[in-house]
């Protein structure tokens, strides 16, 4: 029972942050639908889902990794490299049914390299994944140079862009929702999820409690790489184009979304619903600004500020609470 008590005490400030992000997202969607022309249409809903898909796929695994106190900055480069590799395989005449699982496997292997250097050799993940960010992006240029492979079969590309029957629901929404549900269940309702939090809150204590911290982190990098491989498949088919610079710079958006969703960069704290809301908020905001003909440059400022505020606000609130408590104690 005491553990339950402590847990809920730990989760309370998070719940409020989560709720705030979800409420802000809902409020924004309603306001945008009412005030921005074409925002609330079924067709625009489809665009938003397609735009948020890569960010969501990468953010799911990134949430787990950041919760263990690590980071993976190489995800966007992994997307680029798997996409470039798909292009090379397609040019070699390999059928797409073989290429797609091969791309996910390649992503898993690239993630395993990250896992080996960080969890295996104990090197700082920030430095390692900055290194693989450059390495994987560089290798995708080695594979494809500045050419593009664009002759993807119409069946696959139109399925990716299509909707279910006559309904406005995009085909990709179903696998996206299923993956989000799986990640949510694993993080919040299984022993693996508890060990993710434990490893992030205190790696030493977690190790003494029997959590195989290094093995856990290694496999999380493999999962992150696989998700990036899957994103590579999606990206290639969605834009009908395998290019070395696919998803360039997307890692920053993914990290921004995860932190905005309330996951602590120090690890041990965070929840998936907040991250999901942050993904929707950022994509919808981008979409609404574009529809309202506001320059996308304004969005970079908004993204950057949101990222800082997401971490700054709880810190300031905590220090304000501390001062208040100290003052109350003095008066009492």
Partner 1 sequence: MTALGERPAATARTGSTALDLVLRFRALGLVLALAALVAATTAVNARFLSAQSLRDLLFAAAITVLLATGMTVVVLTRGIDLSVGSVLGLSAYLTGSLLSSVGVPVPLAILTGLAVGAACGTVNGAIVHFGRVPPLVATLGTLYVFRGVVYFVAGGSRINASDLPGAFLDFGSGTVLGVPYLFALAVAVLAVVAVFLSRYRSGRDLYALGSNPEAARLSGIPAGRRLMGAYVTCGALAGLGGVLYAARFGTVDASAGYGLELDIVAAVVVGGVAIFGGSGTVVGAGLGALLLAVINNALPVLSVSQFWQQAIVGALILAAIALDRLVGARTARALRRKAAADAD
> Which residues contribute to the site for partner 1 (CB under 8 A)?
71, 117, 121-124, 126-128, 130-139, 141-142, 145, 244, 249, 252, 255-256, 259, 265-266, 295, 297-301, 303-305, 307-308, 311-312, 315-316, 319
74 contacts: CB under 8 Å, gap ≥ 6: 110, 114, 129, 132, 133, 135, 136, 228, 251
- Least distance in angstroms from the C-beta of 305 to partner 1: 6
Distance of alpha carbon 83 from alpha carbon 231, whole angstroms: 9
Closest CB to partner 1 among residues 315, 331: 315
Closest CB to partner 1 among residues 190, 305: 305
Closest CB to partner 1 among residues 181, 312: 312
CA separation, residue 187 to residues 4, 68, 91 (Å) = 17, 11, 39
Closest CB to partner 1 among residues 95, 304: 304
- Least distance in angstroms from the C-beta of 31 to partner 1: 23
Distance of alpha carbon 273 from alpha carbon 291, whole angstroms: 27
- Least distance in angstroms from the C-beta of 59 to partner 1: 15
- Least distance in angstroms from the C-beta of 293 to partner 1: 15
* Contact indicator for 80, 239 with CB cutoff of 8 Å: no
Give the residue from 131, 134, 130, 128 showing the smallest Cα distance to 115.
128
Closest CB to partner 1 among residues 79, 176: 79
The neighbouring-strand residues paired with 163 are 170
- Least distance in angstroms from the C-beta of 78 to partner 1: 12
- Least distance in angstroms from the C-beta of 72 to partner 1: 13
The string of DSSP letters for 292-332 reads: TT--HHHHHHHHHHHHHHHHHHHHHHHHHHHHHHHHHHHH-
* Contact indicator for 276, 22 with CB cutoff of 8 Å: no
Closest CB to partner 1 among residues 69, 193: 69
């Amino acid at each position: 029972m005491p553990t339950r008590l402590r847990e809920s005490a730990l989760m309370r400030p998070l719940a409020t942050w989560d709720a705030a992000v979800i409420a802000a997202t809902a409020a924004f969607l309603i306001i945008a639908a009412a005030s921005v022309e074409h925002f609330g249409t079924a067709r625009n809903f489809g665009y938003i889902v397609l735009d948020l898909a890569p960010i969501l796929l990468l953010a799911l695994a990134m949430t787990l990794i950041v919760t263990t106190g690590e980071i993976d900055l190489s995800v966007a480069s992994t997307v680029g490299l798997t996409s470039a590799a798909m292009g090379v395989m397609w040019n070699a005449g390999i059928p797409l049914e073989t290429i797609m699982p091969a791309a996910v496997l390649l992503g898993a292997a690239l993630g395993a390299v990250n896992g080996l250097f960080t969890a295996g050799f104990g090197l700082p993940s920030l430095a390692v994944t900055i290194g693989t960010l450059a390495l994987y992006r560089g290798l995708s240029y080695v594979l494809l140079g500045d050419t593009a492979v664009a002759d993807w079969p119409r069946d696959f590309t139109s399925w990716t862009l299509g909707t279910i029957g006559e309904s406005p629901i995009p085909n990709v929404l179903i696998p996206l929702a299923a993956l989000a549900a799986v990640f949510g269940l694993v993080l919040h309702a299984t022993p693996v999820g508890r060990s993710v939090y434990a490893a992030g809150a205190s790696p030493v204590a977690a190790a003494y409690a029997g959590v195989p911290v290094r093995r856990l982190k290694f496999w999380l990098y493999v999962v992150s790489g696989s998700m990036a491989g899957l994103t590579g498949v999606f990206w290639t088919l969605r834009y009908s184009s395998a290019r070395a610079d696919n998803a360039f710079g997307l890692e920053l958006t993914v990290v921004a979304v995860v932190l905005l969703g309330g996951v602590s960069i120090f690890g041990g704290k965070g929840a998936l619903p907040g991250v999901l809301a942050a993904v929707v908020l950022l994509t919808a905001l981008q979409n609404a600004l574009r529809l309202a003909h506001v320059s996308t440059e304004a969005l970079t400022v908004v993204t950057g500020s949101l990222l800082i505020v997401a971490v700054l606000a709880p810190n300031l609130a905590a220090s304000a609470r501390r001062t208040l408590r100290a003052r109350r104690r003095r008066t009492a």
